[in-house]
A and B are shown apart, each in its own frame.
Chain A
Amino acid sequence: MNEKKWHGLERNLFIWHPDINYDACNSCGMCIVTCGSNVFSWNIERNKPSIENPGNCVIGCTTCGKLCPENAITFPEDPKVYVRKIITSYKIFPNVKKELNERLLKFPDHALNGGTKQ
């Protein structure tokens, strides 16, 4: 858990997480129940979400922000611009290639035209 990687890079080199505009948030709970990375917790006294684990947020993910019915969630910058900067500043593709091979070995039905099946 404490040495998270993003395509071979240390996750903690990067700052990427949602911010909550508490004036707009109506405490519906969408963000905490849809996030698959356990970024949010619930502050029972204030009846509002909190950003509990910012380092768990997937770099470039803005799913909670897009789904928030009140538009109460923002991110530091345009995700595509941010991720593009990282991809072009670091050499991640050898690692991506490795991950791709591992994925296709682990899930052979995902390897088409020349995988282990057919």
Chain B
Amino acid sequence: MTSSFEYWHGKPRSDIDWQPYIDTKKCTGCGMCVVTCSEKRNVFGYDLKEKKAVILYPENCMVGCNNCQVGCLWDAITFPDIKSVKDVSKDIQENKVFKEELEKKIGIRR
């Protein structure tokens, strides 16, 4: 399946280590993570029999976002260390990719 999130500011998304992991022992099945993730990305599924959240499309996860983890009262969601993502962000900055995208964005607005 091809994903619309294949690249992140020019970097292959698959090279970036960023996605949620669920500890099924801690998950109470409240569904907060499922609905916190946007419909556009929709990383989670829900197992109706086990009453647990499931990671369905980890590659859709927005780089740097951990809103599902933030909203989990049971601390059942973890993410990789943000440091490697931050390094990627810095690298993109150094290559002026954000700057180019910014100029395109405000160019359209003006």
User: Which A residues fall within an 8 A CB radius of B?
Assistant: 7, 28-30, 32-34, 36, 42, 44, 58, 60-64, 66-69, 79-80, 83-84, 87-88, 93, 96-97, 99-100, 103-104, 106-107, 109-115
Please give, as numbers and ranges, the residues of chain A lying within 8 Å of B105 by CB-CB distance: 32-33, 42
Contact A60 B9 (CB under 8 A): no
| B80 on interface, CB distance cutoff 8 Å | no
A interface footprint on B9-49 (CB within 8 Å = 1, 0 otherwise) = 10000000000000000000011101100110010111111
5 tightest A-B contacts by CB?
A29-B102, A100-B31, A113-B49, A114-B48, A99-B35
Contact A61 B67 (CB under 8 A): yes
Given A33-B105, A103-B39, A111-B46: A69 in contact with B90 (beta carbons within 8 A) = yes
Task: For the complex, count residues of B whose C-beta is within 8 A of A.
Answer: 43
Given A60-B67, A110-B46: A29 in contact with B101 (beta carbons within 8 A) = yes
Contact B30 A96 (CB under 8 A): yes
Please give, as numbers and ranges, the residues of chain A lying within 8 Å of B31 by CB-CB distance: 96-97, 99-100
Q: In the bound complex, how far is the Cα of B10 from the Cα of A34, in angstroms?
A: 13
B53 (CB) vs chain A CBs: closest residue: A100
Contact B102 A66 (CB under 8 A): no
Q: Which of B9, B64, B99 has the most CB of A within 10 A?
A: B64
Contact A36 B62 (CB under 8 A): yes
Contact B49 A114 (CB under 8 A): yes
Given A100-B31, A103-B39: A87 in contact with B73 (beta carbons within 8 A) = yes
Q: In the bound complex, how far is the Cα of B45 from the Cα of A114, in angstroms?
A: 12
Contact A33 B102 (CB under 8 A): yes
- 9 A-B contact pairs sorted by A residue (CB < 8 Å): A29-B101, A64-B64, A67-B63, A67-B85, A80-B70, A87-B32, A87-B71, A96-B35, A110-B56
Please give, as numbers and ranges, the residues of chain A lying within 8 Å of B48 by CB-CB distance: 104, 111-115
Contact A28 B46 (CB under 8 A): no
Please give, as numbers and ranges, the residues of chain B lying within 8 Å of A32 by CB-CB distance: 102, 105
| B98 on interface, CB distance cutoff 8 Å | yes
